[in-house]
Amino acid sequence: MIITGSDLDGISILKQDLNHYIEMKDLGTLGYFLELEVSTTPDRYNLSQAKYASDLLSHVGLIDSKTPSTPLEPNVWLTPHDGTSLRDPTLYGTLVGSLVYLTVTHPDIAYVVHLVSQFLSAPYTTHFATVLRIRYIKGTLFHGLHFQFIPFLSYMHILMLIGLGIPPIDALQLFFDFFLVPHLFPGKVRNRLSQLVLVPKLNTEHWLK
């Protein structure tokens, strides 16, 4: 269970109340949870999966491979029957599943992960070669998400909108569109917005160019 907020006294009272019903152990400040590395500064939360990504690369034998500059080879169009059918799709599915979780802090690979996940039921060699471009993440290991603390005043905007007669759901949507999105996703990212699974090592030299 993660309890967070700016009211430290309120958090303390909540933990005491919960402790009356279930036995709890306070693990202190959140630093690592479900393969997510969490760090804080006075004004923001930082989420990273550097260890998760590094372990994934290591277990598939790609940690020392050349790092491509993009997660998907330019001008590549995947079709259901590219190459030769994989006799055992288990490894393919495991890798794709690991990559899905990595998109939590690496939205830059979300498109290619979505692409290769479409072939889970019957992957071919070309699909697998595309998955192996996950070595791209070696160059972005320490990238992550940064959430800046939002002043309480910003939440008053929702109440103001409701006070003007705007339904609560619509007020939340307006708040998201005009405050949260510009705040969390600046620039080009905003314009485009409208378990660690350990896998066996394998010989990937045949697939790497």
Per-residue pLDDT reduced to its tens digit, 51-64: 999 999 988 888 88
Q: How far apart are CA 175 and CA 159, in angstroms?
A: 10
Q: Which residues pair with 40 in a beta bridge?
A: 45
Residues 75/114, Cβ–Cβ less than 8 Å:
no
Residues 31/38, Cβ–Cβ less than 8 Å:
yes
Give percent above pLDDT 90 in the chain.
Answer: 20
Q: What is the mean pLDDT of the chain?
A: 76
**Confidence tier at 24 by pLDDT (50, 70, 90):** confident
Q: How far apart are CA 120 and CA 90, in angstroms?
A: 9
pLDDT at residue 198, as a whole number: 40
Q: What is the pTM of this model?
A: 0.64
Tokens of 76: 């590549």
pLDDT at residue 7, as a whole number: 72
